[in-house]
Structure formats: structure tokens, C-alpha cells
């Protein structure tokens, strides 16, 4: 674990290694509230945040309901004033694939995940909402693509854009039913926003708008069926991801052609 990295005033990040990739959580510490953006894969992953949160009210935000972003919540100092928020579709996943994935992992690795307690969002939104931290604000915006429930977070006072899995390095994971056009359009709006100075993906290095531009080039090529060149070397995870992304894109293009001719 790589913890206690300060990337802006009141903004901390921690990374946890999960096999072929790392995943990142962000802590925003304001005057009156603290926000944890994604709680990673296990309660122990949150061990560094409580001293920084202190006595502030806590808001937990899920970028989406994939297991490596939501299983650590029980490791936080959850009190009666704690709010757990995410997209409405994120909440729905806690009655479907989220518990199923945990059961499968517990069966495959007995004893390894017993401390995980699934804590669903108790506050949801559809398009956008805002969290007031006192000295800064966190805007939450729905941006489906990687999953139907994915959101991004923007802190205007810091020029900070939290991406979750909506953009990552070297490229995103694209599901078979991804709305690529809407995903690209959402990223384009943020890429053009002059307020964005720092881009924080859940996977890969922190940087600037070049991360958005890199992801846009990749997604546009998928949408248009153009050959995709990616920087090597790739880990096994991203090599398989790239192969799968191309298969889904090719299948989607064939389906679109079929619909147009029938």
C-alpha cells in the first residue's frame, strides 16, 4: 500500500496493488466534512484514513459498484451521520451482482474476505448532485460507459477531476453493451473544460487532461472500428482487456450494420 500522498490542499490518495493492477482511493478533507471516494477491496485498505478524517462528518462516494471500489467501507469510522452515496444504478447492484461476487470470492479464497461487509448507498442520484465539505465542494456527475452506474467527481476549487474507471491508463475496460458514443461525449465535455487541471483515475498515474485525450483516442478507434495501437509493454490484465475490448467493438459494429440493413 502506498498511502498519505497529498496531491492538493486537503486531498490525499492511497493505492493498493491487486495482482496485475493498482486501484486508488481519494480522501477529501474539508472544514466540516470529509469524503472518501471509493473504499477499495477490503476494510484494511482504509486503515490510513480515520486519523485524517478525525471528528468530521463522513461521506462515502462510490464511483461505481465494482468489487475493488466498494468492499472496504466497513474499515471506516461509520457513524449515525455518515452518508454513503452513489448513482441509483449503483444501489441496485447491491441486490444483484455485488453480493454474488463476494460469495464467489469467499468460496474461492476461504477466510480471505470474511471481514468484508457490503454497505449499499443510502443516498442516490440520477444525473448530478453536490457534496459540501465546507472549504470545498464535490460535484458528482453520471457518466455511464465502463458500467451503467459510473460517475465522475469534480472539485472546482482544486481543478480536480476524479474519474473512477471512466478513464484510466493505459486504456479503459469496455463492456460488451457499453454506450461508446455517450461515454466519448461525456469525456469530451470534461476534456474541453478549462477548469480541469488534475485528473485522478482509479487505475494508472495521476496527470492532466492528456489522460482524457488518451482514453478518447482509444474509445473513438473502438467506435469507428479502426486499428488500435497501444503502448507496450502491457501487463497480462491489460493485454487480455485490449483483446476483449476489440472483440466487443467488432461485435457491436456487426450488430449495427445488421440493424441498418434490416
* Whole-Å CA distances, 213 to 87, 168, 184, 190: 25, 11, 10, 10
Number of helices and strands in the chain (H, E): 7, 12
Q: What is the pLDDT of residues 41-78, one digit of tens each?
A: 999 999 999 999 999 999 999 999 999 999 999 999 99
Please tell me the predicted confidence (pLDDT) of residue 207. Answer: 97
Degrees (nearest 5) of the Cα angle 166, 155, 142?
40
Contact by Cβ (8 Å): 3, 21: no
Contact by Cβ (8 Å): 86, 149: yes
* Whole-Å CA distances, 214 to 43, 117, 172, 196: 33, 36, 10, 15
Average pLDDT for 141-157: 98
Grid cell for residue 97: 451482482
What are the chain's domains? 2-260 (3.60.15.10)
Percent of the chain with pLDDT over 90: 86
Please tell me the predicted confidence (pLDDT) of residue 253. Answer: 53
Q: Based on C-alpha coordinates, what's the Rg of the chain? A: 18
Closest of 117, 21, 22, 174 to residue 13, by C-alpha: 22
- Record the pTM: 0.93
- Residue 244 CB partners (closer than 8 Å, separation 6+): 174
Amino acid at each position: 500500500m502506498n498511502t498519505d500522498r497529498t496531491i492538493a490542499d486537503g486531498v490525499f490518495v492511497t493505492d493498493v496493488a491487486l495482482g496485475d493492477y493498482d486501484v486508488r482511493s481519494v480522501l477529501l478533507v474539508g472544514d466540516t466534512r470529509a469524503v472518501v471516494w471509493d473504499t477499495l477491496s477490503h476494510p484494511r485498505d482504509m486503515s490510513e484514513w480515520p486519523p485524517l478524517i478525525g471528528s468530521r462528518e463522513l461521506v462515502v462516494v462510490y464511483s461505481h459498484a465494482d468489487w475493488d471500489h466498494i468492499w472496504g467501507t466497513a474499515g471506516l469510522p461509520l457513524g449515525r451521520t455518515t452518508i454513503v452515496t452513489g448513482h441509483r444504478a449503483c444501489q441496485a447492484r447491491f441486490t444483484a451482482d455485488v453480493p454474488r461476487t463476494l460469495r464467489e470470492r469467499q468460496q474461492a479464497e476461504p477466510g480471505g474476505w470474511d471481514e468484508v461487509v457490503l454497505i449499499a448507498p443510502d443516498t442516490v442520484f440520477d444525473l448530478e448532485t453536490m457534496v459540501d465539505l465546507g472549504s470545498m465542494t464535490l460535484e458528482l456527475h453520471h457518466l455511464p460507459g465502463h458500467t451503467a452506474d459510473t460517475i465522475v467527481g469534480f472539485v472546482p476549487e482544486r481543478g480536480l477531476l476524479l474519474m473512477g474507471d471512466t478513464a484510466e491508463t493505459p486504456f479503459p475496460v469496455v463492456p460488451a453493451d457499453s454506450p461508446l458514443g455517450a461515454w466519448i461525449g461525456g469525456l469530451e465535455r470534461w476534456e474541453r473544460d478549462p477548469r480541469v487541471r488534475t485528473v485522478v483515475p482509479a487505475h494508472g498515474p495521476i496527470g492532466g487532461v492528456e489522460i482524457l485525450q488518451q482514453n478518447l483516442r482509444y474509445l473513438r478507434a473502438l467506435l469507428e472500428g479502426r486499428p488500435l495501437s497501444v503502448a507496450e509493454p502491457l501487463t497480462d490484465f491489460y493485454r487480455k482487456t485490449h483483446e476483449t475490448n476489440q472483440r466487443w467493438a467488432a461485435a457491436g459494429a456487426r450488430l449495427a450494420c445488421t440493424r441498418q440493413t434490416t
